[in-house]
């Protein structure tokens, strides 16, 4: 048995998402780039590569990882580049998307050798959470003034628009795309490519994938553009678990179980968005508050149901532990960082990375 804690990536589950992405590419003509900020566990990139066109990034290190470990088309984007990194970014990318006209102008000479794009902020989004809403008031994410953008359009060949966020509602996607067409149509018809970003949950169950493909194709035909999608969460959703072991149990008015992991260190995104972890099937007569082992009082994965009372040594699998999870793990409290394991298509499991004291020590000085 592999020692917990560890993240377990299941290739069979990952393949379900990959096949849907390949279907959308085939049917609609879009290209699909993995958003590395969501998932950058490169041990499965060989497996994912045949189903996707490449990667997109948010920084120099991500664009380099995409080029070196994934290959294919490599898009560079960042909220802001520094002077000292721009040459290396351009060396690793096929396209660079600037967040502002200011950055486009600043790096105009250096970026002349590759395709350039600009991020548009359509000022509509599907997000209900301020923290993750690119269209929030005073947002720094992209240009929104069509007149200003028009003045620099001869310097770019495309746009990136990322305004969906965990959007599993096709009607909403369709409606917002309609607003974008209306507002920026004149600009869209003057470029060669448009990336519609990530945040569209088209690999989810019951998503109307054929309607989605038709909508993308219509958009592409109307403006004469190559459409890109940048799926992060949709690429890896439901492919991975975090495997943990119960270290102690207590009763203080509720049944508590403490596990060899920490929500702050190993599933930080849930803490930030105040969501509970998921346990399947979450059924049975015994309700237990499952807690992490850090000293943060609110280090709680959630309250779940189990068929039996939990006892020391029991194992728990937290579901859906791929997106915004492994990329955010940290050494808070010195909690043992989860290893990374892969379940192959034949069912065998191998550990591809383990972390030890040296890794903890070397992340500071
Ligand atoms: C975050 C982000 C993505 C990926 O978003 P998901 O919700 O994980 O699909 C894609 N493109 C851009 C520009 C992003 O900021």
Give the pLDDT confidence of 49-99 residue by residue, as tens digits.
999 999 999 999 999 999 999 999 999 999 999 999 999 999 999 999 999
Q: Measured between alpha carbons, how far is 308 from 302 in angstroms, rounded to an integer?
A: 17
Our answer on whether the CB atom of 234 is closer than 6 Å to any ligand 1 atom is yes
Q: Is the CB of 134 under 6 A from ligand 1?
A: no
- List the residue whose alpha carbon is closest to atom 8 of ligand 1: 232
Predicted local distance difference test score (pLDDT) of residue 127: 87
Is the pLDDT at 128 greater than 90? The verdict is no
Res 307: pLDDT: 97
Tell me the C-alpha distance between 163 and 154, whole Å.
24
CA distance 34 to 45: 10
Dihedral-angle region of residue 320 (phi above 0 means left; psi in -120 to 50 means alpha; beta otherwise): left
**Residue 31: which H helix or E strand, with range?**
strand 31-35
Of all residues in the chain, the percent with pLDDT exceeding 90 is: 98
Record the pTM.
0.97
Q: What is the mean pLDDT of the chain?
A: 97
CB 190 within 8 A of CB 152: no
- 75: which DSSP letter? E
Strands (E), 210-348: 226-229, 240-251, 255-259, 286-291, 300-306, 315-318, 339-343
pLDDT (average), residues 250-278:
97
Ligand 1 centroid distance, CA of 172 (Å):
17
**For a substitution probing ligand 1, which of 166, 232, 233 has the most ligand atoms within 8 Å of its CB?**
232
Q: Whose CA is nearest to atom 2 of ligand 1?
A: 198
pLDDT of residue 283: 97
Give the distance (Å) from ligand 1 centre to CA of residue 311.
40
pLDDT of residue 275: 96
pLDDT at 55: 98
User: For residue range 203-250, what is the model confidence (pLDDT) as tens digits?
Assistant: 999 999 999 999 999 999 999 999 999 999 999 999 999 999 999 999
Calculate the alpha carbon distances from 242 to 101, 164, 262 in Å.
42, 27, 11
Confidence of residue 323 (pLDDT cuts 50, 70, 90): very high
Question: How high is the pLDDT of residue 200?
Answer: 98
Q: How many CB atoms lie within 10 A of CB 319?
A: 13
324 Rama sector, left if φ>0, alpha if ψ -120 to 50, beta otherwise: left
Q: Is any ligand 1 atom within 6 A of the Cβ of residue 342? A: no
């Amino acid at each position: 048995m592999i020692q917990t804690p560890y993240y377990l990536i299941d290739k069979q589950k990952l393949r379900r998402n990959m096949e849907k992405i390949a279907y959308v590419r085939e049917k609609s003509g879009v290209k699909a780039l993995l958003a590395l900020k969501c998932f950058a566990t490169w041990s499965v990139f060989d497996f994912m590569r045949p189903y996707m066109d490449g990667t997109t990034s948010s920084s120099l290190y991500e664009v380099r990882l995409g080029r070196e470990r994934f290959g294919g088309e490599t898009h560079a984007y960042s909220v802001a580049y520094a002077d000292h990194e721009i040459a290396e970014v351009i060396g690793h990318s096929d396209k660079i998307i600037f967040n502002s006209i200011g950055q486009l102008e600043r790096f105009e000479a250096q970026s002349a050798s590759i395709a350039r794009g600009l991020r548009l902020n359509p000022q509509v989004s599907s997000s209900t959470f301020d923290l993750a809403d690119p269209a929030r008031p005073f947002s720094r994410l992209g240009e929104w003034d069509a007149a200003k953008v028009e003045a620099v359009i001869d310097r770019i060949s495309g746009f990136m628009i990322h305004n969906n966020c965990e959007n599993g509602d096709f009607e909403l996607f369709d409606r917002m795309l309609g607003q974008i067409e209306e507002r920026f149509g004149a600009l869209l018809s003057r470029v060669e490519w448009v990336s519609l970003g990530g945040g569209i949950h088209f690999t989810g169950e019951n998503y109307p994938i054929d309607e989605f493909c038709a909508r993308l194709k219509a958009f592409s035909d109307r403006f004469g553009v190559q459409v890109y999608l940048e799926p992060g969460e949709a690429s890896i959703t439901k492919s991975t678990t975090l495997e943990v072991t119960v270290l102690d149990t207590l009763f203080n008015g509720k049944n508590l179980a403490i596990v060899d992991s920490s929500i702050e260190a190993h599933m930080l995104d849930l803490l930030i968005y105040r969501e509970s972890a998921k346990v399947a099937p979450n059924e049975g007569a015994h309700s237990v508050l499952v807690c992490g082992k850090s000293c943060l009082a609110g280090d709680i994965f959630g309250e779940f149901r189990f068929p039996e009372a939990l006892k020391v040594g029991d194992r728990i699998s937290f579901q859906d532990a791929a997106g915004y999870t492994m990329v955010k793990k940290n050494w808070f409290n010195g909690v043992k960082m989860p290893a990374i394991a892969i379940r192959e298509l034949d069912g065998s499991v191998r550990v591809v990375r383990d972390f030890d004291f040296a890794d903890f020590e070397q992340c500071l000085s």
